[in-house]
Structure 1
Amino acid sequence: MRLPNMSNNFLTPIPESSDHVISKEIKLAILGSSNVGKTAMTVRYLTRRFIGDYEPNAGNLYSRLVNVEGEQLFLQIQDTPGYIQVQEDFFHVTDSISKCVQWAEGFLLVYSITDYTSYQSIRPLYQYIRKVHPDSKVPVVIVGNKGDLLHARQVQADEGIQLANELGSVFVEISTSESCQDVSDVFQHLCKEVSKLPLPCNCERRRASIIPRPKSPNMQDLKRRFKQALSSKAKSSSLG
């Protein structure tokens, strides 16, 4: 299946107020081997916004408010490290990637057309996602990246199409370095598919608060500490 044509980039600024009501939250993960361009795709698509503090081997979480067909959505993208081992009859993912697969609602599986090994990791990654989400219709898009490096191609476009057809997924071949629009179309398509998924029965409309605001300090406690500091200073002066 080919990726359908999409409209222009749909990113909107994050409002300063935390009172803005978001109708739905979307959680995406971008997975694949090392050096296939996962981070480049994410950074190209979003203005870089980190949430919280993350260790390097845990990947980076990006967030943005987006508008999909007139609906305001809170988008989070987990960019994962490429610590994936694929050998004959053996497939291993790290705990961080395992947790990411459990967390996400939609997936981009990325390989480089210049690295056949990265292509071989897509099938077991897809199968792992379906194992974690056996009763879910979680959408998955397979992306062949670095489409501008035709002189170094190791994976033919037909191989990507065939794999996607076998897995029942969508496929697209792009060049992150050459086309921001193609990158945007991929993310927009996935956001649109995830937004179609039914909300959990206990899901409530949430407010857009990128980083939780700290609680207001207790003024009585601050006054008490201030008096203690003055008292200690006075005692020190009298002793001197």
Structure 2
Amino acid sequence: MRLIHNMTTISESPPPEPPAPRRVVKIAVIGGSGVGKTALVVRFLTRRFIGDYERNAGSLYSREVQLDGEQVTIQVQDTPGVQMVDNVLSVPDHVSCSIQWADAVVLVYSVTDRHSFHLVDQLHQAVVRTGGAPPPLVLLANKVDLLHLRQLDPQQGPVLAGTLGCSFFEVSASEDYSQVRGAFHRLCCQLGKQQAPPPPSGSSAAAATEKRRSPLIPRPRSPNMQDLKRRFKQALSAKVRTVTSV
């Protein structure tokens, strides 16, 4: 009697690498009351303009967008308007927390409201006082379509932006999506350059990458491989026991 024992080897290939976590960009939009912060945020994220909004209670908007070929999650924190009380800037707690939370900040004023323009410098100081490296900033002058209500000269915005050391855009949330998108896109690009330092060279690059990834994305083991091996051995044993003589 001859026993025939055919063995088949199962090779365990390494599981695929998990996808890299999607980058999250956190932006806070701050400014005086009635400057159009919510309209700007909604225009940027949805391309739509809605004329009337309820009083802003501070909403967080999130959307996945393509940014220079990369899929990015953008979170935009809309904030209540700030105001002056006895010549002192009154910043609600929600606004202060939003500034600390954000990776980048949009300062907004309306060209139809001189008071909102004068708030910008003090808002900038509030951002700087949060500590650490100042976040990327962009200054937006909204409502440029309302020519008959304009209270500020076109040169005042660029001069202020130069003083603050940030980019400047005149936009109309009601009329031009491309202007609004361009401003936010510029801010996201500035932030991306800060968040993506060049990787170290040589073999240390892989080690540094693995060190950064390991606490966040542990390499998973296949939960079914051991069970698959066990079932294969059981099936193979049953096949051996039923072999007939030649």
Bin of the TM-score, shorter chain as denominator length: 0.5 to 0.7
Structure 1 CA distance for aligned equivalents of residues 116 and 147 of structure 2: 16
Quote the residue 1:61 is aligned against: 60
Q: Which has the higher contact order (CA 8 A, sep 6+)?
A: 1
Quote the residue 1:47 is aligned against: 46
1:107-160 per-position Cα deviation (integer Å, ceiling 9, x unaligned) = 111100000001011001111111114x31411001100000111111111111
Quote the residue 1:98 is aligned against: 96
Quote the residue 2:109 is aligned against: 111
Moved more, 164-173 or 85-94: 85-94
What's the CA shift for 1:63?
A: 0.6
AA at the equivalent of 1:30: V
**Is the partner of 2:43 in helix, strand or coil?**
helix
- Residue 154 and residue 57 in structure 1: after superposition, are their counterparts in 2 closer, same or farther (change >3 A)? closer
Structure 1 CA distance for aligned equivalents of residues 21 and 130 of structure 2: 27
- Residue 206 and residue 180 in structure 1: after superposition, are their counterparts in 2 closer, same or farther (change >3 A)? farther
- Residue 140 and residue 203 in structure 1: after superposition, are their counterparts in 2 closer, same or farther (change >3 A)? farther
Quote the residue 1:32 is aligned against: 31
Query: Cα RMSD over matched residues?
Result: 2.7
- Residue 20 and residue 121 in structure 1: after superposition, are their counterparts in 2 closer, same or farther (change >3 A)? farther
- Answering whether residue 118 of structure 2 is matched by residue 120 of structure 1, we say yes
Structure 1 CA distance for aligned equivalents of residues 212 and 105 of structure 2: 21
What's the CA shift for 1:81?
A: 1.0
Q: Which runs of 5+ in 2 are unaligned?
A: 1-17, 48-54, 198-207, 218-246
1:20-67 per-position Cα deviation (integer Å, ceiling 9, x unaligned) = 64342110011101111110111111139xxxxxxx764110111122
Aligned identity (percent) is 41
What's the CA shift for 1:85?
A: 2.3
Structure 2 CA distance for aligned equivalents of residues 116 and 203 of structure 1: 48
Q: Is the 8 A contact 1:61 1:78 kept in 2?
A: yes
Quote the residue 1:218 is aligned against: none
Quote the residue 2:156 is aligned against: 159
Structure 1 CA distance for aligned equivalents of residues 170 and 216 of structure 2: 35
- Residue 99 and residue 199 in structure 1: after superposition, are their counterparts in 2 closer, same or farther (change >3 A)? farther
Residues 183-198 of structure 1 mapped to structure 2, 5 A cutoff: 183-198=180-195
Structure 2 CA distance for aligned equivalents of residues 40 and 203 of structure 1: 38
- Answering whether residue 149 of structure 2 is matched by residue 149 of structure 1, we say no
Q: Is the 8 A contact 1:21 1:206 kept in 2?
A: no
Structure 1 CA distance for aligned equivalents of residues 137 and 120 of structure 2: 11
Q: Is the 8 A contact 1:24 1:195 kept in 2?
A: no
Structure 1 CA distance for aligned equivalents of residues 133 and 65 of structure 2: 24
**Deviating runs (4+, > 2 A) in structure 1?**
19-23, 85-89, 198-207
**Is the partner of 2:129 in helix, strand or coil?**
helix
Quote the residue 1:53 is aligned against: none
Quote the residue 2:202 is aligned against: none
**Is the partner of 1:196 in helix, strand or coil?**
helix
Q: Is the 8 A contact 2:38 2:56 kept in 1?
A: no
